[in-house]
Amino acid sequence: MKTTVIKTTDLPQAFLEVHPHNLYLYCKAYAAGLRANTAQTKNRSAVSGGGKKPWAQKGGGRARAGSTRSPVFVGGGVAFGPSTNKNYDQKVNKKQKKLALYHAIAEMAANEKLFVVDSIAVESGKTKDATAFVNELGQRDVLVVKEMIDDKTFLAFRNLQNAYLIEPNELNAYLAAAYHSMVIEKAVFDKLTKEA
């Protein structure tokens, strides 16, 4: 299996003219989209107890109070807790998504962390063969992009902690930026650079 290291000179000019801020905005939006939005507190209507008026309205010399579940009391509800219906999604244009991916790939190429191979296939389906393929590259972790993932190759890669196998439609700037290096099939790489 012939492995070619891609340098910035091998990339179209469109990959090299992208401002890094596009990648920052895309990654920020991607991370925001992953937020679970499960932060929750109980307001005064959700806290149990407090049905009885704690003391008389007048005559006690104290401030009037209608319920011990008011936010001013210990054990009362929270006055301004987090909103449970907040939408954290941030808009990213199609063009900006593409530019972010281009920049992430160009960064890998600049650091000689982008590898192109004719085909990625582990016909044995064994994890040790996939491990040997990854170790040959000598990288910390690898994003592996294959045009069509077959069952055997999927089985070989699925338990590897330092490799993640995806198809081209799953490739995005966040994944490209998160991984130390990338191995991509020549057919996928040619299509990607042809669109630029």
Question: What's the rounded mean pLDDT across residues 187-196?
Answer: 88
Alpha-carbon dihedral angle through residues 168, 165, 152, 188, given to the nearest 10 degrees: 30
Cα distance between residue 64 and residue 55, in whole Å: 8
Kindly indicate the confidence band of residue 33, based on its pLDDT and cuts at 50, 70 and 90. very high
SS3 114: strand
* Closest by CA position to 17, among listed 8, 30, 27: 8
Domains of the chain: 3-19+92-195 (3.40.1370.10)
* Between 78 and 50, residue with greater pLDDT: 78
Looking at every residue in the chain, the average pLDDT score rounds to 92
- Token digits of residue 95: 């063009």
Q: In the chain, which ranges are E strands?
A: 3-5, 114-117, 142-145, 163-166, 181-185
Q: Is the pLDDT of residue 145 over 80?
A: yes
Cβ–Cβ contacts within 10 Å for residue 8, how many? 16
Closest CA to 88 of 125, 123, 39: 39
Could you read off the pLDDT of 75-116 as tens digits, one per residue?
A: 999 999 988 788 899 999 999 999 999 999 999 999 999 999
Residue from 151, 130, 196, 143 nearest 172 by CA: 143
Are the C-beta atoms of 163 and 120 separated by less than 8 Å? no
Counting residues of the chain whose pLDDT is more than 90, the rounded percentage is 79
pLDDT, mean of residues 139-168? 94
Contact 164, 143 (CB under 8 A): yes
Per-residue pLDDT at 160 exceeds 70: yes
